[in-house]
Amino acid sequence: MSMPSHTAPKRGRRQPFYRDLSFQVLAGMVLGVAAGYALPNFAINLQPLGDAFIRVIQMLIGPIIFCTVCSGIAGVNDFRKVGRVAIKALFYFEVVTSLALVLGLVAINVLKPGMGMNVDMHHVHSAAVDAYVVKAQHAVTVSEFLLNVIPHTAVSAFASGDVLQVLFFSVLFALGLAAIGERARPALDVIDAVSSALFWIIGLTMKIAPVAAFGAIAFTVSKFGFGTLLSLGRLIVEFYLTCALFIGFVLWPIAKANGFSLPRLMRYIGAELLLVLGTSSSETVFPQLIDKLERLGCEKSVVGVVLPTAYTFNHDGTCLYFAAAAVFLAQATNTPMSWHDQLVLLMVLLLTSKGAAGVSGAAIAVLAATLAASNTIPVESIALILGIHKVLSSAFVFTNVVGNSVATIVVANWEKALNRTALRRELATGFRDVEAPVGVLDRSPNGSAGR
């Protein structure tokens, strides 16, 4: 089996620490917290900084998925391999997200952050969640979910930004290119050229990532204040602890069993992890993850199938959030929930959690649908956690990104499509974004991305 030609990045004088993206994003977040606390009237107007950055990335995700999937699958020219990778990936997603749901339920029952709140729902202003309550009345059936995978038109998939619909069309198109063989070469050349242009735009956009993190954090602190965070601090601490336990006791052993270090991987994607903490959106780092996972030695065809699919089906952190939030609301409102009720909730979550998208705002809608389907916890109680949802979403999106990165490397290892030499080298040295002359950036059809 041919492996991707991951040549070592061009070595040069490493940039000073203050030009490192991880440092800049962290500095932006710290300044954002300070601005939100000290200048709330000014900081409340900074939300467009984060939203504009997210929109630019969202604008590029559909075309990037299309180019990556087409170049990867058509280049392999092996239909059976594509199906094999997809089946292995879905199996992995189902097992790990189920573990996340179980861990989330156990942790929230042990720590009980909602006990003693004794919230009377008659005194809760729930107007803010009315839209979610209305949507929750219509439960999406399995057939509706499967039918929604197919876009009405090829253009509508990209226009709506639905990752699963874009992936569906991209896989079909890639298989069509593979089927016609050498005649597809001109189209693949165009796709590779478009891909290089898109990643150039991503590189340019990432220069404003620290500003986006600054604006998003400043807005959050100024809007909700530290008072809101303190009033529900027990839930915040419990949830962040649960995410840490999941990373330490589920993802770490999985990484170790597949021959790589999770702490080193997290260091390698450190800039991306800091960015999702600031923006609360995993979509902001999707293009960069494609690049870095290919540098780590994952074959391009595997990355092209697994990572976009993971963004739809492998929401480890979001599953932790659903379990924690649902039981917390039951505890806070004194809604009795036996273990039988919680097992029913677990079964419902196994289905509804697959509808959560990469954008953090979708989690509230899916949580509302889950509570409506379980018919135990009042849907209106979601109003209790709206104020801290942004803080919680930072943690679960962070966990999602770590989980999706681990999943891609694991499936590549299972498929024997992992260049272990590149993996060891990159994790040992860390990501080196060295300065290079204009024109050095090159994303070859084999999946390497040298600078």
pLDDT tens for 264-281 read 999 999 999 998 988 888
Q: Does residue 84 lie within any of the structural domains?
A: no
In a domain, 223, yes or no: yes
Q: Residue 6: pLDDT above 50?
A: no
Structural domain for 112, as ranges: 17-59+94-152+209-450
| Residue 358 in this model has a pLDDT that exceeds 50 | no
286 neighbors 293 (Cβ within 8 angstroms): no
Q: What is the CATH number for 260?
A: 1.10.3860.10
- Backbone Cα Rg of the chain: 22
- Whether residue 369 has pLDDT greater than 50: yes
By C-alpha distance, which of 399, 405, 198 is closest to 296?
405
Give the Cα separation of 153 and 157 in Å (integer).
7
- List the single range of 57-66, 120-129, 202-211, 297-306 with lowest mean pLDDT: 120-129
String of b and e for 232-258 (b: at least 16 CB within 10 Å)? Answer: bebbbebbbebbeebbeebbeebbeeb
Task: Give domain status of residue 157, yes or no.
Answer: no
Is 446 inside a domain boundary?
yes
Domain-located, residue 203: no
- Domain membership flag for residue 185: no
In a domain, 139, yes or no: yes
- What's the rounded Cα separation, in Å, for the pair 275 and 423? 23
pLDDT tier at 441, thresholds 50, 70, 90 = very low
Query: In this structure, is residue 243 part of a structural domain?
Result: yes
Number of domains in the chain: 1
Q: Name the least confident of 137-141, 153-157, 217-221.
A: 137-141
- Checking if the pLDDT of 139 tops 50, the result is yes
Helix axes 362-374, 389-414, angle to 10 degrees: 90
Res 9: pLDDT? 44
241 confidence band (pLDDT: 50, 70, 90): very high
Give the burial string for 47-75 (b: 16+ CB within 10 Å, else e): bebbbebbebbbebbbbbbbbbbbbbbbb
Model pTM score: 0.80
Check pLDDT > 70 for residue 163: yes
C-beta separation of 172 from 65 below 8 A: no
